[in-house]
Amino acid sequence: MKEMVDYGVLGFLGMLSVVVVAIAIERLWFFATVRVDDYNDRRFLELDLHKRLTLLATIGSNAPYIGLLGTVAGIMITFVEIGADSNVDTGAIMTGLSLALKATAAGLIVAIPSIVTYNLLTRKADVVLTLWDIHHKPYTEPPRAATTRPMSSAQVAQQVATQQSQISQIQRQAQMQSQMQGQAGRTTQNPQPTTTQQSSQNLRPQGSTLGAGSTTNPPRV
Give, in degrees to the nearest 5, the angle at Cα 79 between 74 and 82. 125
**Residue 87 vs residue 179, higher pLDDT:** 179
Our measurement of the distance from residue 169's CA atom to the centroid of its chain's CA atoms, rounded to an integer in Å, reads 49
**How many Å apart are CA 82 and CA 89, to the nearest integer?**
8
Instruction: Write down the mean pLDDT value for the chain.
Output: 78
What is the 3-state secondary structure of 7-44? HHHHHHHHHHHHHHHHHHHHHHHHHHHCCHHHCCCHHH
Domain contains 27: yes
Domain contains 220: no
- Residue-number span of the structural domain to which 50 is assigned: 2-131
Q: What is the dihedral of CA 24, 27, 28, 32, to 10 degrees?
A: 180
Domain contains 180: no
What pLDDT, in 10s, does the model give residues 81-104? 777 776 766 776 777 777 778 889
Domain contains 52: yes
Domain contains 188: no
**Residue 134 vs residue 206, higher pLDDT:** 134
Ranges 108-117, 122-131, 196-205: which has the least confidence: 196-205
Whether the pLDDT of residue 199 is over 80: the answer is: no
Q: Would you say 25 and 76 are in contact if contact means Cβ atoms under 8 Å apart?
A: no
Domain contains 168: no
Domain contains 10: yes
Whether the pLDDT of residue 200 is over 90: the answer is: no
Q: Please count the structural domains in the chain.
A: 1
